[in-house]
Amino acid sequence: MAEPTNTPVPASTPRATSPAPQLPFISQGSLSIRSSMTSSKPRVLHIGDPVKYNPETYLRFSIQCEVIRPPTEERQRPEFIKALKEKRWGDFDAIFRPFWGTGGEMGKWDQELISLLPQSVKVFASAGAGFDWADTKLLGERGELTQLPADIR
């Protein structure tokens, strides 16, 4: 069941309007990250389980982006490292972890993992509070954007 559009938005989650407008999730024209591959859609590595709670929003997202979701076996650290080294998923523009309870099978995002990411990666988006499982300093040095609410920094 989808979340109603009039669900109150917590103060720590800024939005331009509330309730959320019924517009496409991402405007293709305003998204400046692009893969070096021939696809005109941004390529997003979705780590974790399938989205359950906002399927309509995720559907709009998946129409506007090429979503790559490795199975759980490929998200175990040794296999995940192997896949990155082999460029199994090619170049991708972003990493998306929609639920804090899954998508962490590969362990801490440290120098070992981050150094294997394609240079095309510019966004690392993850649900949850905090980034103690990721080296955000190193991600920032690579030019990757991450988001952390100001009230828990």
Q: 20-42 pLDDT, tens per residue? A: 444 443 333 333 334 444 558 99
For position 118, which CATH number holds? 3.40.50.720
- Position 32 in a domain: no
- Position 128 in a domain: yes
pLDDT bucket at 10, cuts 50 / 70 / 90? low
Residue corresponding to tokens 């296999």: 79
Q: Is the pLDDT of residue 60 over 50?
A: yes
The CA distance from 142 to 139, in Å, is 5
- Position 64 in a domain: yes
Instruction: Identify the residue with better confidence: 27 or 136.
Output: 136
* pTM, to two decimals: 0.67
- Position 136 in a domain: yes
Q: Tell me which residue range forms the domain holding 99.
A: 43-152
- Position 35 in a domain: no
> What's the pLDDT tens digit per position in 63-75?
999 999 999 999 9
- Position 18 in a domain: no
The four Cα atoms 104, 106, 109, 112 give a dihedral, to 10 degrees, of 180
Are 116 and 86 in contact, with CB atoms under 8 Å apart?
A: no
- Please count the structural domains in the chain: 1
Q: Could you give the strand order of the β-sheet that contains 66-68, starting from the edge strand earlier in sequence?
A: 66-68, 43-46, 94-97, 123-126
